[in-house]
Amino acid sequence: PRDLTELAVDAPREMRPFVDSINHFMGRLGGRLKQSERFVADSAHQIRTPLTAISAQLNMVDETGLDQASREHLDRARERVTEMARLIHQLLSHALVIHRFESTALAPVDLVAVTRHAFRAAVPITIDPDIVVSFEAPETPVIVMADTLSLREAITNIIDNAVRHGAVARLEVRVRTEGETQAVVEVEDDGPGIGAEDWTRLTQRFAASSGGKGVSGLGFAI
């Protein structure tokens, strides 16, 4: 289903127009998918650049002469820019994952390496030092069939959710195997967790468990 290679078959003369039509369609579809991927990549670059600049300008504001109300307005502006940058990143990530799901063939991937990369990306160096963070994985590669980018985005979002909304004093990320055919990634924290009745709803886009800061409702959907 994800192979857009043109058909190269010996067909009766009467069937050649049909084969040519299929190949023409495959070529157009492949072109559209590449345009979509370029649009997502270009959008990510073009939108993140001004947001980074705005954030830098806000951080350069001299607060010494501001009254309390002005400082509160400045703090809210900083928070909104941070939330916007995160939301845009997740929207673009969601679009990219959907695109790759429809067009990218699966390939052998080392789950340990992908999870380790996601772990480093999702756990900030400024994390509360009182939170004990650990990563456990086999010393040998754990090979699974997957799309590296989509898998990394999924794991990153799970860990990020645990960092932001779960972990109080403990965050553990593990990679393990079950028998010879199953590989498992576990993200565990000591927070209150999510009720079983909410899981179906929270995997839908823009469904959030709370109205807290930085909640976009896209993490679990991705």
Dump pLDDT digits (tens) for 90-133. Answer: 777 777 777 677 667 789 999 999 999 999 999 988 888 899 99
Mean pLDDT, residues 55-83 taken together: 88
Q: Pick 213 or 129 by higher pLDDT.
A: 129
Q: What is the pLDDT of residue 100?
A: 73
Q: What is the pLDDT of residue 211?
A: 45
Mean pLDDT, residues 66-86 taken together: 87
Mean pLDDT, residues 127-153 taken together: 92
Distances (CA, A) of 36 to 2, 33, 43, 91, 201: 15, 5, 10, 14, 28
d(CA 129, CA 71): 28
Residue 206's SS3 state is coil
Q: What percentage of the chain exceeds 90 in pLDDT? A: 36
Over its C-alpha atoms, the chain yields an Rg (Å, rounded) of 23
Q: In what order do the strands lie in the sheet with 132-136?
A: 132-136, 170-178, 182-189
Which of 111-115, 129-133, 141-145, 191-195 bottoms out in mean pLDDT, i.e. has the lowest? 191-195
The answer, yes or no, to whether residue 35 has pLDDT greater than 80, is yes
Residue 94's SS3 state is helix
The answer, yes or no, to whether residue 217 has pLDDT greater than 70, is no
d(CA 168, CA 125): 16
Tokens of 137: 């994985």
Q: What is the pLDDT of residue 123?
A: 93
Mean pLDDT, residues 149-178 taken together: 91
d(CA 88, CA 40): 11
